[in-house]
Amino acid sequence: MSRTFPVFLFAAGAMFTSLLVLVAGVNYHFDPANLFGDRTYEAGIARLLSEGKNVANITDYDERLVQKFFVERLNSRRDVLVLGSSRSMNIGSDLFPGMTFYNASVSGATLEDYYATLQMFRERNLLPRTLILGVDPWVFNRNSEQTRWKSLEPEYRRSLSSNVPGTAPSKNAIDQRLSRLQQLVSFDYFLGALRAAHRTDRDYYITTAAELDVNIRLADGTIIYKRDYAHRSPEIVAEVAHQQAARIPIYSLGQFRELDPEYVKRLEDLIEHLRHEGTEVILFLPPYHPDLYAAITQAGSPYRLAKDAEEYLRRFAGQQNLQILGSYDPGLTPCGRGDFFDEMHPVNLCIARLFAQFRMPPGGMKPSLIPLQ
Give how far the C-alpha of residue 265 lies from the chain's centroid of Cα atoms, to the nearest Å: 20
Neighbour tally for 182: CB within 10 Å: 10
Yes or no: say if 259 and 305 are a contact pair by the CB < 8 Å rule: yes
pLDDT tens for the chain, 373 residues: list them.
556 656 666 666 677 777 777 767 766 666 655 566 658 999 999 999 999 999 999 998 999 999 999 999 999 999 999 999 999 999 999 999 999 999 999 999 999 999 999 999 999 999 999 999 999 999 999 999 999 999 999 999 999 863 343 344 444 444 555 556 666 667 655 665 565 555 445 699 999 999 999 999 999 999 999 999 999 999 999 999 999 999 999 999 999 999 999 999 999 999 999 999 999 999 999 999 999 999 999 999 999 999 999 999 999 999 999 999 999 999 999 999 999 999 999 999 999 999 997 877 765 433 333 333 3
CA dist., res. 339 & res. 348, Å (int): 8
Helical spans, DSSP H, in 32-100: 40-50, 63-73
pLDDT of residue 38: 52
pLDDT of residue 360: 76
CA dist., res. 176 & res. 27, Å (int): 17
pLDDT of residue 41: 93
pLDDT of residue 331: 97
pLDDT of residue 177: 54
pLDDT of residue 37: 60
Q: Give every strand in the sheet of 323-326, ordered side by side.
A: 101-103, 80-83, 130-134, 280-285, 323-326
pLDDT of residue 364: 44
CA dist., res. 338 & res. 235, Å (int): 8
Q: What is the pTM of this model?
A: 0.82
Instruction: Sort 50 into a burial class: Cβ within 10 Å, 0-12 / 13-18 / 19+.
Output: middle
pLDDT of residue 373: 31
Yes or no: say if 328 and 139 are a contact pair by the CB < 8 Å rule: no
pLDDT of residue 148: 94
pLDDT of residue 168: 44
| Phi, psi angles (nearest 5°) of residue 207 | -145, 155
pLDDT of residue 25: 74
